[in-house]
Amino acid sequence: MDKKYLFFDIDGTLAAGGYGHTFIPDSTKIAINNLKKAGHFLCIATGRAQAMAVSFMHELGLKNMVSDGGNGITIDEKIIEIEPLNRKYVLDLLKECDEKGLVWGIQTDNSNTRLVRDESFIKRTNDIYMKTKVIPDLIPESYENIYKAYIACEYPMEKSIHGLKNLPWYRFHKEYIFIEPSNKERGIRKMMDFFNADYKDAIVFGDSGNDLSMFTDEWTCVAMGNAIDELKEKADYVTTNVDEDGIYNACEYLGLF
């Protein structure tokens, strides 16, 4: 087979178990090794911050990543760029949250740590996704870049937060929402353009709502068996669940090794 460019989401695609219990199935590791031997280009495509995804890249022996929901590019283990959120829109959103008494946190660098003003965010979310650092006099305006923000609120409170209309956001947990880039397609195109590769040679693998942007007619799209229905409807092929040899079975079906 000709060289293909494969892009894998992490949670629910490469890895099973959910936050706090994440593991990569053995069959997935075997598939990745077989794909390497076949000479394909392999890349992670995740909504996670680059710093929170690099361990998966290393565990699988990969060197390339589209991170931060499409805003980050890592090639041969070197960060090429990580674009922050629109600063004005984020600051306006946080101001609105303060006016409405909503607790928030922000991520101001490429790390696994969010900044908060007090313990309220932790108490309201019981979060285990990332580390949380309390800065009592936290002033978001003092940071040049804000890469992600988090608002503690349960559905349907987000419907009353007007500032969200200007920013990409997603709810992964019941207790809070993520304000983060959500355009993996953009990052994949940048990666393909960097290597002057034909879009038709790209194959993407995903399972969740934040993977919808990378499911386009220009390349092959594979949905996991555990994927949301909307993603399966857009897929060229639906494989088995992540913990039921989903990646291996898809790659075998597509004749990639």
Summarised one tens digit per residue, pLDDT across range 220-253 is 999 999 999 999 999 999 999 999 999 999 999 9
* First-residue to last-residue Cα distance in the chain: 8
Residue among 107, 39, 23, 104 nearest 72 (CA): 107
pLDDT tops 80 at residue 148: yes
Predicted local distance difference test score (pLDDT) of residue 20: 74
Domain definitions of the chain by residue range: 5-83+182-253, 87-179
Angle (CA) 205-208-213 rounded to 5° is 70
The domain 5-83+182-253 having CATH identifier 3.40.50.2000: the answer here is: no
Residue-wise pLDDT tens digits, 162-179: 999 999 999 999 999 999
Tokens found for residue 32: 């990745």
| Token output for 67 | 């991170």
Structure-token pair, residue 36: 């390497």
**pLDDT, tens digit, 9 for 90 and up, residues 71-113:** 999 999 999 999 999 999 999 999 999 999 999 999 999 999 9
- Mean of pLDDT values over 26-44: 98
Distance of alpha carbon 137 from alpha carbon 160, whole angstroms: 27
Choose which CATH entry (3.40.718.10, 3.30.465.10, 3.30.1240.10, 3.40.190.10) describes domain 87-179.
3.30.1240.10
Residue type, 64: N
Q: In angstroms, rounded to a whole number, what is the distance separating the alpha carbons of residues 163 and 70?
A: 21
Asked if domains 5-83+182-253 and 87-179 share a fold, the reply is: no
The mean pLDDT value for 124-153 works out to: 96
pLDDT tens readout for residues 17-33: 987 789 999 999 999 99
